[in-house]
Amino acid sequence: MIDNNFLLQNDVAKELYNNIKDLPIIDYHNHLDPKEIYENVPFNNISDLWLSHDHYKWRLMRFAGISDYEDNPLSNFVNFTNAVESAYMNPIYHWSHMELKTFFKVEEQLTKENAERIYYQANKYLKDYPLRPRDLLKDLNVESLCTTDDLNSDLKYHKLLADESNFNIKVLPTFRPDRLFTVESAKFYEVIEKLNIVTNKNIINLSMLEDALSDRIIYFNINGCKLSDHGITHFIYHSVTTEEANTIFIKRNQHKKVSNIDIEKLNCYLLGFLLKEYALVGWTVQYHIGALRNNNAKMYKKYGNDAGYDSISHHNFVDDLNKFFDNAYKEYSLPRIIIYLLNKSLYEAVATLCSNFSDSKPGKIQLGAAWWFHDHLSGIEKQLSVFAEYLHINYFMGMVTDSRSFISFVRHDYFRRVLANFIGKKVEEGLIPNNLKQLIELVQNISYYNSKLFLNL
């Protein structure tokens, strides 16, 4: 099934794909560990490589009645095979077969009957042709990748990788201050204490917190950072003065109780402060909005974050986000912003928001790639359709993996196939002129050149 023409339904689609399939990959949002890239330890077992970092696959296994992850790699592989064998149209079905073909030269359908044989065949391949993180990235033509890093990170491994003269792939940090937005929990004090240590400060008021955050942004910027990233479940806008935010922060920093409204106000103020700081250093801002995380308390206690117990929130934040950007735009020109959604019913509303605050830069504020629960065939096509009809598809920054798995880069090939076929179908329907020169330039921009240009890579 995964042949050269997989997902390509007409000659235009095939021609477009052939002009983008070999372009380098810029993955400007993922959760790979730079320590693993630096240490470059070979992968010895397909089960560990395939399953240990991928909660998409764990989630599928659970729904198929496989409730736990075992210590036995063969059992885990067979269990996953039992889950994926008939998971037709789930993107994991397609991705898994693409991964088998790309990394292990296995082109047959994975079934219960051949699972054990393929397990040993793949492991033998790993032994005969050792696969290390850096080799994998080079073989897939990854040019740049941007990891996701806590605001207090020392970026040790990013710096070590940057100093290696024989490693040319850019592994850049992304500033992720989500832990700061835990005002309601004890984690907040841990973040402030760590911030005190790494900035050599004693943060007792809002002004000192702002100074510390500015120091961190400068540090990240010096070390190659091009983007910030925020994971936001619910966005609620409040007009709040510096004095009011300072009072709330001091009160909470002294371990005193504050109201839910005060928490929302402080969070909104800090988001506004950070947005202005990002504009000053020229970063692109990413807002991932609408993930309702860790819904199973029992399993959260057992496994912690990012174990596949998350859902889509249907909170409508668009009015509030318009007000937030409007308030900021009165003072300064906004930085480049990418808004990723989990609630597809808000695609059109967010797309119209994007044009409200875009100015001198093409594609300055845009609807992000189909994310998480939507990075499948119909989800990608839906996002492309809304982007094309409400914005300007030639300025779309394209695909990101948002993944913790090194072999997830085949998803760029999956996306490029869907993109080429989407355009090819529109040509066939008479909605787009059959001008191959222009269309090749379009799909190349989306697949590679836009992110390279817009992120100054």
Q: What is the DSSP string of 271-282?
A: HHHHHHHHHHHT
The residue among 386 and 304 whose pLDDT is bigger is 386
pLDDT band at 300, cuts 50/70/90? Answer: confident
At residue 359 the predicted structure's pLDDT band, cuts being 50, 70 and 90, is confident
Q: Decide: 315 and 234 in contact? Cβ < 8 Å.
A: yes
Residue range 367-393: average pLDDT? 97
Please report, as a single letter, which amino acid is at residue 359: D
Give the pLDDT of residue 344: 94
Q: Is 149 helix (H, G, I), strand (E, B) or coil?
A: strand
Q: Residue 257 in 3-state DSSP?
A: coil
Q: Nearest Cα to 145, choosing from 281, 271, 231, 36? A: 36
With CA atoms as reference, report the closest residue to 321 among 237, 264, 387, 263: 237
Scanning the structure block, which residue is given the tokens 């207090």?
152
pLDDT surpasses 80 at 70: no
| Alpha-helical regions (H) of 347-434 | 347-357, 377-390, 410-428
- Report the pLDDT value the prediction gives residue 301, as an integer from 0 to 100: 83
Domains of the chain: 11-43+133-454 (3.20.20.140), 44-131 (1.10.2020.10)
| Residue range 449-453: mean pLDDT, rounded | 98
- Residue 299, pLDDT score: 80
Residue 206, pLDDT score: 98
Of 19-23, 45-49, 203-207, where does mean pLDDT reach its minimum?
A: 45-49
Mean of the per-residue pLDDT values for the chain? 95
115 has a pLDDT exceeding 80 = yes
Q: Can you list the positions of beta strands (E) in 115-165?
A: 142-146, 149-150
Residue type, 82: N
Whether 334 has a pLDDT exceeding 90, the answer reads: yes
pLDDT of residue 191: 97
Q: How far apart are CA 99 and CA 406, in angstroms?
A: 11
Nearest to 87 by CA among 49, 59, 116: 59
Rounded CA gap, 404 and 132, in Å?
15
Give the pLDDT confidence score for residue 116 in this predicted structure.
97
Which alpha helices (DSSP H) does 173-309 contain, by range? 187-199, 206-222, 242-253, 260-281, 297-303
pLDDT of amino acid 141 = 96
- Residue among 308, 293, 265 nearest 57 (CA): 308
Residue 236 tokens, joined: 């609620």
d(CA 250, CA 245): 9
pLDDT at 332 over 80: yes
Q: What is the pLDDT of residues 264-274, one digit of tens each?
A: 999 999 999 99
Q: Which has the minimum average pLDDT: 19-28, 44-53, 234-243, 281-290?
A: 44-53
* Mean pLDDT for the stretch of residues 116-123: 97
Q: Which amino acid is at 443?
A: V
The pLDDT assigned to 369 comes to 98
Residue 222 has pLDDT above 80, yes or no: yes
Rounded Cα gap, residues 403 and 400, in angstroms: 8
The larger pLDDT score, comparing residue 48 to residue 454, is at 454
> Which H/E stretch holds residue 311?
strand 311-312
Q: What is the pLDDT of residue 92?
A: 95
Q: What is the pLDDT of residue 391?
A: 97
304 burial level (CB within 10 Å; 0-12, 13-18, 19+): exposed
pLDDT band at 306 (very low <50, low <70, confident <90, very high): confident
* Residue range 49-69, pLDDT digits in tens: 988 878 888 899 999 998 766
